[in-house]
Amino acid sequence: MLDAFRRSKAMFTAATLGVFDLLEERPRRAEEFSEKAMDRLLDACVALGLLACEEGVYRNTPSASRYLTRESPDSMIGYVLYSDRVLYPMWGHLAEAVREGSHRWKQTFGLEGPLFDHFFQTDDAMRTFLRGMHGFGRISSPKVVAAFDLSRYGTFCDLGGATGHLTVAACEHYPGMRGIVFDLPRVMPAAREYVATSTAGARIECVPGDFFTDALPEADVYAVGRILHDWSEEKIPVLLGKIFAALPAGGALLIAEKILGPVSAHMQSLNMLICTEGRERTLEQYEALLRAAGFAEVQGLITGAPVDAILARKAGGNQG
């Protein structure tokens, strides 16, 4: 634990310097890089299992090629870069966040204003963040949509759907399902770009809007992935109440979040303290919120992916 941050920063730095992309083009020697101490960073990445070296020539391991290069469809590079540029400096103020119970955007970067203005300061910053979330989504979303049988639902709408990875996973898993990606207008070009690459793209619509202020598209199953953990105890009941009112009888809400228990979930809860108004929760805490909103049945499942799955149903209709 004492030096875990060193490992993270070594990977972040190699990604920021473009090491993995350059080595994906072709294996290289340390002296082919312009940085004076690149041999130390490359050797550290070998020790971390990110690179391999033979007779002084470095190359990516399969995991680095898959997750740490920009052109890979499973790339996590967006979140790695976001972690280096944004999260790493913000975590330096964890003590103040704990003392004051509030995020660290102003202390770290001098930023005021609405929460997601911080994530989306520029189009480049927004795309980096969205690409990182897309990498997580490609790992998690197929397991989330398969956690419960959603085959009887005709229309799946992901609120705050970002690049559409959850909607894509649902429509690819359930051939009869139609999908809607609902997110802020600025996100729509990226969402349409990613949705177009799916075999189910023709069944998916991208609709701009703000789930707090705009009417929700009609659907019989809504989804919120990594959304509820962003918001305060005052705002979550407002959103859940709005979703419940929009659902038809027998409709459902699918939630993709970490359920507290594992170390990773508690680390993510601290991350929410530093970055947002929210937190991670236990299944019992989610159930209390959902039943208070009117949902009659709540189930949770640990998926083994970066996020877990919770399904809440509205009474009435054919429960199947």
134 catalytically annotated: no
Residue environment code for 80-98, b if the CB has 16+ CB neighbours within 10 A, otherwise e: bbbbbebbeebbebeeebe
Helix (H, G, I), strand (E, B) or coil at 215: coil
How far CA 104 is from CA of 26, 170, 275, 307, in Å, comes to 40, 35, 6, 24
Taking the C-alpha atoms of residue 16 and residue 6, their distance in angstroms, rounded to an integer, is 15
Listed residue (314, 236, 300, 247) closest to 272, CA to CA: 236
Listed residue (224, 239, 252, 222) closest to 157, CA to CA: 222
Q: For residue 60, what are its two tokens?
A: 């990516």
Q: Tell me, rounded to whole angstroms, the distance of Cα 295 from its chain centroid.
A: 25
Angle at 161 between CA 160 and CA 164, to 5 degrees: 165
Catalytic position from the list 103, 165, 229, 266: 229
Catalytic center residues: 229
